[in-house]
Amino acid sequence: MSLRLFRIAWTVSRYRLDSLVPPERLPPVIRWLWRFAPVRLIPIGDHSRGKRLRLALESLGPIFVKFGQMLSTRRDLLPPDIADELKRLQDQVPPFPGETARAMVEVELGKTVEEAFAAFETEPMASASIAQVHAAELHSGEQVVVKIIRPGIDRIMREDIGLLYTFARLMRRVPEARRLRPVEVVKDYEATLFDELDLNKEAANTSQLKRNFQSSPLLYVPAIHWSLTHRQVMVQERINGIPVADIDALRAQGTDLKKLAERGVEIFFTQVFRDNFFHADMHPGNIFVSRENPTEPRYIAIDCGIVGSLTREDQDYLARNLLAFFRQDYYEVAVLHIESGWVGEGTRANEFASAIRAVCEPILEKPLKDISFGQVLLGLFQTARRFNMEVQPQLVLLQKTLLNIEGLGRQLYPDLDLWSTARPYLERWMRERAGPKGFWKTLQKHAPELAHQIPELPVLAHQALADRDQQRRLYRQQTEALTGLEARFQRAAPRARRLRLGAVLLALALAWQPMLAWAEQQPWPVLVAAGLGALLLAWR
DSSP-derived secondary structure for 87-141: HGGGTBSPPPPHHHHHHHHHHHHTS-HHHH-SEE-SS-SEE-SSEEEEEEE-TTS
Is residue 83 very low, low, confident or very high in pLDDT (cuts 50, 70, 90)?
confident
Calpha distance 325→366 (Å, rounded): 14
pLDDT per residue over 233-242, tens digit each? 999 999 999 9
Rg (CA), the chain: 36
Question: Contact at 8 Å (CB) between 412 and 261?
Answer: yes
pLDDT per residue over 170-184, tens digit each? 767 666 556 556 677
The full DSSP string for 450-471 is HHHHGGGHHHHHHHHHHHHHHH
Question: Of these residues, 91, 195, 256, 281, which one is catalytic?
Answer: 281
pTM of full prediction above 0.75: no
CA angle at residue 378 from 377 to 379, to 5 degrees?
90
215: alpha, beta or left, given left = phi > 0 and alpha = psi -120 to 50? left
Q: What is the pLDDT of residue 85?
A: 82
Question: Contact at 8 Å (CB) between 57 and 46?
Answer: no
526 pLDDT higher than 70: no
Give the H or E element holding residue 219. strand 219-220
Output the average pLDDT for the chain: 78
527 pLDDT higher than 70: no
**What is residue 243's three-state secondary structure?**
strand
Query: Count H helices, E strands: the chain?
Result: 24, 11
**What is residue 21's three-state secondary structure?**
coil
Calpha distance 99→102 (Å, rounded): 5
**What is residue 290's three-state secondary structure?**
strand
Query: Is 281 among the residues known to form the active site?
Result: yes
142 pLDDT higher than 60: yes
pLDDT per residue over 198-207, tens digit each? 899 999 999 9
Is residue 65 very low, low, confident or very high in pLDDT (cuts 50, 70, 90)?
confident
pLDDT per residue over 268-322, tens digit each? 888 988 888 988 887 777 899 999 989 999 999 998 888 888 888 778 877 887 7
Q: What is the pLDDT of residue 394?
A: 59
Question: Contact at 8 Å (CB) between 115 and 139?
Answer: no
77 pLDDT higher than 70: no
pLDDT per residue over 388-406, tens digit each? 666 565 566 777 777 777 7
Q: What is the pLDDT of residue 379?
A: 66
- CA 459, 461, 465, 471: dihedral to nearest 10 degrees? 90
Taking Cα atoms as reference points, which of 323, 293, 318, 280 lies closest to residue 428? 323
Percent of the chain with pLDDT over 70: 68
Calpha distance 505→279 (Å, rounded): 91
**What is residue 256's three-state secondary structure?**
coil
Taking Cα atoms as reference points, which of 296, 268, 328 lies closest to residue 73? 268
Which residues on adjacent β-strands are paired with residue 307?
279
Greater model confidence, 151 or 46: 151
Taking Cα atoms as reference points, which of 247, 273, 279 lies closest to residue 260? 247
Calpha distance 49→424 (Å, rounded): 42
Calpha distance 513→506 (Å, rounded): 13
Which runs of consecutive H residues, i.e. helices, occur in 371-435?
Answer: 373-384, 393-412, 418-434
The full length of the chain comes to: 540
Edge to edge, the sheet with strand 299-301 lists 219-220, 299-301, 287-290, 241-243
Q: What is the pLDDT of residue 350?
A: 86
Q: Are strands 126-127 and 131-137 parallel, antiparallel or unpaired?
A: antiparallel
Q: What is the pLDDT of residue 319?
A: 81
Calpha distance 261→264 (Å, rounded): 5
140 pLDDT higher than 60: yes
Q: What is the pLDDT of residue 256?
A: 92
Taking Cα atoms as reference points, which of 86, 104, 11, 75 lies closest to residue 48? 86
Taking Cα atoms as reference points, which of 366, 337, 341 lies closest to residue 351? 337
Averaged pLDDT, 345-372: 74
Is residue 329 very low, low, confident or very high in pLDDT (cuts 50, 70, 90)?
confident
pLDDT per residue over 453-471, tens digit each? 667 667 767 677 777 777 7
Taking Cα atoms as reference points, which of 320, 317, 301, 284 lies closest to residue 395? 317
Calpha distance 29→23 (Å, rounded): 11
Q: What is the pLDDT of residue 409?
A: 78
Taking Cα atoms as reference points, which of 386, 269, 376, 363 lies closest to residue 318? 269
Q: What is the pLDDT of residue 117?
A: 95
Question: Contact at 8 Å (CB) between 249 and 317?
Answer: no
